């Protein structure tokens, strides 16, 4: 059954990474946070939480009214796909990439290094290695940025995000919140988010 669902998801372009259990980033038992988590929140409420309680780095048209928040794990190959596919929108859209550590403890250091660099070049280099299934060399990651990754992860766990990559977009004219998940191709990303 799981194999059938995976094949179906891949055929539909809805590929995303979801952890079996989140890494122990807060010093608690891995399943304790999940057992005490509140019910998943509606997209508009999740957008508010993501935009107000997480930290990431911005790329694209930084003064754009169109802002897409992208929750990603540095170890996720589908996030690498999304990074490459979303670049066609950089001239018109501001993307805020929010690193989290859902897939591996190694995601903390990699996410902190990407947050610290905060550049297109750093993400290009990182995502090229992930796409090629090559090891990522250790980069500079301050304790402050590692703490941000842990805090971002706790927020994502509280709202019970289904996996990564996961995107949130609030239409500036209507105020409607739209979401999309997975390593979507550019045309599907544009349609799902209404860009």
Give exposure, 47-61, as e/b (b: 16+ Cβ within 10 Å).
Answer: bebbeeebebbebbb
Q: How far is CA 106 from CA 46, 73, 74, 139, in A?
A: 26, 10, 9, 12
| Helix/strand number for the chain, H first, E second | 8, 5
| Alpha carbon distance 189, 28 (integer Å) | 36
Q: What is the pTM of this model?
A: 0.82
pLDDT at 114 over 60: yes
**pLDDT tier at 37, thresholds 50, 70, 90:** very low
pLDDT at 15 over 90: no
Residues 6+ apart with CB under 8 A from 57: 96, 97, 114, 115, 117, 118, 119
| Alpha carbon distance 18, 177 (integer Å) | 22
CA 183 to chain CA centroid, nearest Å: 10
For residue 72, what pLDDT is reported?
A: 97
């Amino acid at each position: 059954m799981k194999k059938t669902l995976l094949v179906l998801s891949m055929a539909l372009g809805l590929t995303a990474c979801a952890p079996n259990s989140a890494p122990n980033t807060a010093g608690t038992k891995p399943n304790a946070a999940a057992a005490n988590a509140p019910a998943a929140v509606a997209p508009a409420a999740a957008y508010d939480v993501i935009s107000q309680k997480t930290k990431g780095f911005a790329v694209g048209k930084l003064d754009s009214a169109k802002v897409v928040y992208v929750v990603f794990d540095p170890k996720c190959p589908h996030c690498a796909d999304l990074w490459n596919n979303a670049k066609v929108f950089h001239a018109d859209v501001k993307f805020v990439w929010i690193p989290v550590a859902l897939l591996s403890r190694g995601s903390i250091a990699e996410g902190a290094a990407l947050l610290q660099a905060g550049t297109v070049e750093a993400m290009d280099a990182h995502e090229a290695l992930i796409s090629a299934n090559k090891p990522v060399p250790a980069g500079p990651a301050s304790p402050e940025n590692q703490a941000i990754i842990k805090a971002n992860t706790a927020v994502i766990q509280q709202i019970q995000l289904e996996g990564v990559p996961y995107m949130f977009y609030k239409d500036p004219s209507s105020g409607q919140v739209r979401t999309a998940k997975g390593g979507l191709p550019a045309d599907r990303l544009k349609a799902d988010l209404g860009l």
